Structure 1
Amino acid sequence: MALIPSPREAFPVPPPDTFAEPPAVIIPPCDPWPRPYYLKDRLRKVYPYHFTYNTYCKERWRGREILDIFASEFRDRSVEYYKNTILAGRVVLNGKPITSTSTIVKNGDVISHTLHRHEPPVTAQPIGIVHEDHDLIVINKPAGVPVHPAGRYNYNSIVEIMRADRGYTFKPLPCNRLDRLTSGIMFIGKHKAAAEDMSQQIRDRSVKKEYITRVVGEFPEGEVVCEQPILQISPKLGLNRVRANGKEARTVFKRLAYYPPKEGQDKEVSTTEAEKGKENGMAWKRLRGYSIVRCFPLTGRTHQLRVHLQYLGHPISNDPIYCNQRVFGPSLGQGEEDSENDEDIMTRLERMGKEDIAEAVAYHDEMVDEYNKRKAEKMTGEVCNVCQTPLYSDPGTHELGIYLHAKRYACEDGKWDYETPLPEWALPPPGMEGPMEATTETDPLAVNLEQLSLEGKGNVSGIPNGTDDTATPALAAAG
């Protein structure tokens, strides 16, 4: 059969797909190397540096004025600062200068903001090495240092500190994550395959975890099992509570030691005064003494250990949220399961670092800015000579973490087992005797789960079936 040519118009060919070029973004003025660290007063500090944030327009920003977005969404600096920085050209939209603070932001726009960045200091305590081979580094993370750059922290993060120590091309790959305030065992992959292998072990729930903490009062002896479900009440404030409609959560606790108040300490303030709560919170804690408790999380809910310990009436003694009498009152929320007081609790918690100063010595990320401002206004009053930003006083080294430490991680089939010594705050106080290290008898990893009637109630090694936790798992979320 002969081929009969057809006119091109009979079978139109659509033009190839075309894509609009993405909007231009601003490249940060520099990526300083070596990192601009310096050590002072037992803190790791970062010299201020210029940095450009590039942010795509969020859905809630669409159709709003640029100054309104900055004033309501970015509260680190004053409205006057944002107005001046926009007009000075340090905020641009899609790579082009903005001529008015009333400029409307649309879907797909990229906002670039170049500022003189002042990072908060973190502890100068080095990152401890528990084990290292060709694939993994097992570290002992110091309290007060975030794992990844986020929010106000960039170079003062675990991954950046390790890069600074080992070279620009080194890319540490965290396999699990601990909260900024928590210390202890973390796994860092040296290459992608190793990181994925360890993360898979964690996802397969074949890793046992043990934490150690220091709580208010005389914790009961023997195994204490808490199976109260946990619900997130406020993501912004980091508040979680025991609620019947929360997610399943189970923890085994076992006391390692109890240290009563020192002789004569109870004479510092009367019991009646201590019961006033708000004015005498620290004295109230001293009157009760404290316990060192080992924790075995069988599930991995956010703040699981902190919430369960509060519910049991023995909160972590320097927890800025769950051991805060100005927020929860003298009972500290012991045994509470209903939502009757949630609104009042959130209101009081939001005031911490604003109108009130929390009595605990560590501060949640959402509150630390305002707390530092109050602290600075009382102690400095100086401003940066480059950007006119108020300069805040440094936190004390004791303010950088809470008494919660990821002490041991062990593979369920016995292939590996990594452990750190007891942290200093868990050792016997001067003049008192007590355990300097854990023993098999006090080890929650050796707890008889069958005796506790926990076998068959789900996974007992870590993350429960059906959890929505990510690959850098509930190991940290349990804290």
Structure 2
Amino acid sequence: MQEIKANEMDSGQRIDRLLSEKLDDTSRSDMQGRIRDGLVEVNGEAVKPNYKVKTDDVIIVHPRELVEADISPQNLNLEILYEDDDVAVVNKPKGMVVHPAAGHHSETLVNGLMFQLDDLSGINGELRPGIVHRIDKDTSGLLMVAKNDVAHRALVDQLVDKSVTRKYVALVHGTIPHDKGTIEAPIGRNPKERQEMAVIDSGRDATTHFNVLERYEGYTLIECILETGRTHQIRVHMKYIGYPLVGDPKYGPRKTLNTDGQMLHAGTLGFIHPTSGEYMEFNDSLPEPFEDVLETLTPLSD
């Protein structure tokens, strides 16, 4: 537990920013999470991350209790594209869940990481060691993994600052007439269907850029560049503009190609290395099943 008494120079500052500056080995995003989880008290009461500190406020910051992960390491032969003492980049196959949850206690990406990597960060708690961001079960592609807590915070800060490069390739229904576009539409929980996300006025800001790669009869292959990382963002945004992903059981049409899940691949991932400060970018080609589906389509002539 850490206790801080605010002085006159602290007065007026947001508490999340103040604590991230005053405390070592933390970040603003990490502190926002602690505040939302009730681990920060001001004068004995919980506050929100945007609370403005007052002179003589007594701030108490409680540590997170990290529980040893009760997860069995499994040899899943994960493809590790890069690894050093701080980070790793892994290629998640389609059909694999990222971390254990109800109904998925084994053969997740975390199970495989615990077998193949010596160290993983613990910030995300017992069931998500090392996981900085995630992609859906039926989305394939690249993920960055943190091997210690300092690296984890640095990578999360880059996600918050929108400085991580994340490019996806998707096959959508319909022929998109324009070569590029930007979708800016807030995403939140669908009030009519709690298992789905939707574009709603009260949602969180979400921005997706896209470029057309190839047009086929009835379909379009696109590259999507994420500026934000909301749950199901690409799937929801493409449905919103009338071009849902092929094979998407949640947001796509029932009549679709036989693909065993949405046609979406996280093919490019770039970030600044937490220790060296060097920008690193990784690329992965489309999985063979994705390519096989494209081979069945008829390209449109220009």
TM-score by length of 1: 0.40
The letter of the residue matching 1:421 is S
CA drift of 1:296 comes to 1.4
**Equivalent position SS for 1:417:** strand
Q: In the alignment, which residue of structure 1 is the partner of 2:243?
A: 314
Does 1:163 find its partner at 2:27?
no
Contact 2:214 2:220 in 1 (8 A): yes
Aligned-pair RMSD on alpha carbons? 3.3
Does 1:419 find its partner at 2:283?
yes
Q: In the alignment, which residue of structure 2 is the partner of 1:408?
A: 268
Out of 170, 177, 185, which is 2:142 matched to?
185
Q: In the alignment, which residue of structure 2 is the partner of 1:221?
A: 178
For 1:208 and 1:221, how far apart are their aligned partners in 2?
23
The letter of the residue matching 1:151 is A
Aligned residues: 218
**Equivalent position SS for 2:230:** coil
Structure 1 vs Structure 2: percent identity of aligned residues? 30
For 2:222 and 2:134, how far apart are their aligned partners in 1?
22
Structure having the higher Rg: 1
TM-score by length of 2: 0.62
For 2:170 and 2:224, how far apart are their aligned partners in 1?
8
For 2:170 and 2:221, how far apart are their aligned partners in 1?
6
Unmatched tracts of structure 2, length 5 or more: 1-69, 122-128
Q: In the alignment, which residue of structure 1 is the partner of 2:79?
A: 128
CA drift of 1:151 comes to 0.5
| Greater percentage in strand | 2
Contact 2:210 2:225 in 1 (8 A): yes
For 1:32 and 1:159, how far apart are their aligned partners in 2?
8
CA drift of 1:324 comes to 3.1
Contact 1:214 1:426 in 2 (8 A): no
For residues 249-268 of structure 1, what are the structure 2 equivalents within 5 Å? 249-260=206-217
For 2:227 and 2:156, how far apart are their aligned partners in 1?
18
For 2:71 and 2:165, how far apart are their aligned partners in 1?
40
For 1:321 and 1:206, how far apart are their aligned partners in 2?
29
For residues 28-43 of structure 1, what are the structure 2 equivalents within 5 Å? none
- Please list the CA deviations of residues 4-59 of structure 1 after superposition, one character each: whole Å capped at 9, or x if unmatched: xxxxxxxxxxxxxxxxxxxxxxxxxxx89775x8xxxxxxxxxxxxxxxxxxxxxx
Contact 2:169 2:265 in 1 (8 A): yes
* Distance change in 2, residues 1:416/1:320 (3 Å): same
CA drift of 1:431 comes to 8.5
| Greater percentage in helix | 1
CA drift of 1:235 comes to 9.1
Does 1:429 find its partner at 2:267?
no
The letter of the residue matching 1:408 is T
For 1:314 and 1:173, how far apart are their aligned partners in 2?
34
Out of 196, 221, 225, which is 1:239 matched to?
196
CA drift of 1:237 comes to 4.2
**Equivalent position SS for 2:295:** coil
CA drift of 1:162 comes to 2.3
Q: In the alignment, which residue of structure 2 is the partner of 1:140?
A: 91
For residues 285-304 of structure 1, what are the structure 2 equivalents within 5 Å? 288=218, 290-304=219-233
**Equivalent position SS for 2:157:** helix
Deviates more, 1:228-237 or 1:127-136: 228-237
Contact 1:213 1:426 in 2 (8 A): no
- Please list the CA deviations of residues 155-188 of structure 1 after superposition, one character each: whole Å capped at 9, or x if unmatched: 2211112223457x87751222222222211111
CA drift of 1:317 comes to 0.9
**Equivalent position SS for 2:190:** strand
CA drift of 1:249 comes to 2.5
The letter of the residue matching 2:92 is K
Higher RCO structure (Cα 8 Å, ≥6 apart) = 1
* Distance change in 2, residues 1:236/1:228 (3 Å): closer
- Please list the CA deviations of residues 45-98 of structure 1 after superposition, one character each: whole Å capped at 9, or x if unmatched: xxxxxxxxxxxxxxxxxxxxxxxxxxxxxxxxxxxxxxxxxxxxxxxxxxxxxx
For 2:246 and 2:297, how far apart are their aligned partners in 1?
21
* Distance change in 2, residues 1:199/1:242 (3 Å): closer
**Equivalent position SS for 1:210:** strand
For residues 53-452 of structure 1, what are the structure 2 equivalents within 5 Å? 126-165=77-116, 173-234=130-191, 237-260=194-217, 288=218, 290-325=219-254, 399=260, 401-411=261-271, 415-427=279-291, 428-429=294-295
Contact 1:403 1:425 in 2 (8 A): no
